[in-house]
Amino acid sequence: MYSTALKKIAFLPFGLVMDMYRYDVFNGKISMQELNRKWWEYVVKYQGICHAVPRDESDFDPGAKFHTAADVPYMRYFVSFVIQFQFHEALCGVANHSGPLHTCDIDGSKEAGAILGQALSLGSSKPWQEAMRIITGQDQMDAQPLLSYFKPLQDWLQAENRRLKQTVGWVEDASCIEDVTTMPTIPTVSTLSTVPSVSSSQTMFVSPITEPDAGGSTSTDSSASRTTTPPPAATSPSAEVASTSTTNEPVESTTASAGSLSLPLLLHALALYALLFCVRF
């Protein structure tokens, strides 16, 4: 669940910033004289990330993303990451699942498969809201299933943050924005010393840099030399926790039996469908 959250939750502020920036360029809130400065203002505010080196208006950092340079809407990706959990919750209900949402697996449920197949059979012949109504019974996007899915992990992280006395979130350091001037600047002291970076222990969603492995033992990130105590077995959301290999590459646990889809694989499949589902959004 920990590694799944790093893929699903961490993407949301990035996906939001992408189109918030585009929309504000189109509606005139962002002028042509502050294209790069405003980009970093949004990134600092919503993602808590500061540029590693001084930037100015001769740079166009948002253009590094293809969707910005090619004028491709990004909201479809943001929406798909939310509604895939609505689909998952609804299909779990059809499959008569009982228990926490993150433990549900619809593999083998003919009833859930029939509903999903009926929605997929529409293709692009109908608005996406109608296909959504087939699966969920309504046509409104709702983030509550996403929150329900990650509730065990959220509870554990909150407890760990209290135990380790971690500060959650970040300070919107003005220097991150002030460094992006209209004229090229001379590199000075990096602002990363005052603003948490992605690898900091004071991130929005994840404070411990290490996590317990599937066996309940404590794993340590050798590059950071920090150790995190595993959560109690009764509340540990370790069904899908990734262990840290010697190359620091996350490896998802594969606990599903032969012939059965693992939950991460199922969520990825739903994410792909949700993305295709939102092409018209």
Domain positions in the chain are: 75-151+258-277
Predicted confidence at residue 200, as pLDDT, reads: 36
The token pair at 184 is 């090229």
Predicted confidence at residue 274, as pLDDT, reads: 61
- Tens-digit pLDDT profile for residues 195-204: 333 333 333 3
**Are the C-beta atoms of 77 and 264 separated by less than 8 Å?**
no
- Tens-digit pLDDT profile for residues 39-78: 999 999 999 998 889 899 999 999 999 998 898 999 999 9
pLDDT of 249 > 70? The answer is no
**Are the C-beta atoms of 247 and 163 separated by less than 8 Å?**
no
Q: Distance between CA 94 and CA 102 in Å, rounded?
A: 15
Confidence of residue 169 (pLDDT cuts 50, 70, 90): confident
**Are the C-beta atoms of 57 and 35 separated by less than 8 Å?**
yes
Predicted confidence at residue 267, as pLDDT, reads: 62
Mean pLDDT of 105-127: 95
The token pair at 114 is 């029939």
Mean pLDDT of 147-161: 95
* DSSP three-state, residue 206: coil
Confidence of residue 79 (pLDDT cuts 50, 70, 90): very high
* DSSP three-state, residue 214: coil
C-alpha to C-alpha distances, 251 to 106, 208, 244, nearest whole angstrom: 23, 18, 7
Most confidently predicted of 32-41, 46-55, 240-249: 32-41
Mean pLDDT of 23-49: 94
Predicted confidence at residue 201, as pLDDT, reads: 37
Report whether 55 belongs to an annotated binding site.
no
Confidence of residue 242 (pLDDT cuts 50, 70, 90): very low
Mean pLDDT of 86-104: 95
Predicted confidence at residue 223, as pLDDT, reads: 37
Mean pLDDT of 200-213: 36
Give me the half-sphere count of Cα atoms (radius 13 Å) on the Cβ side of residue 34: 15
The token pair at 24 is 């504000």
Confidence of residue 93 (pLDDT cuts 50, 70, 90): very high
CA dihedral 159, 164, 165, 167 (to 10 degrees): -80
pLDDT of 245 > 80? The answer is no
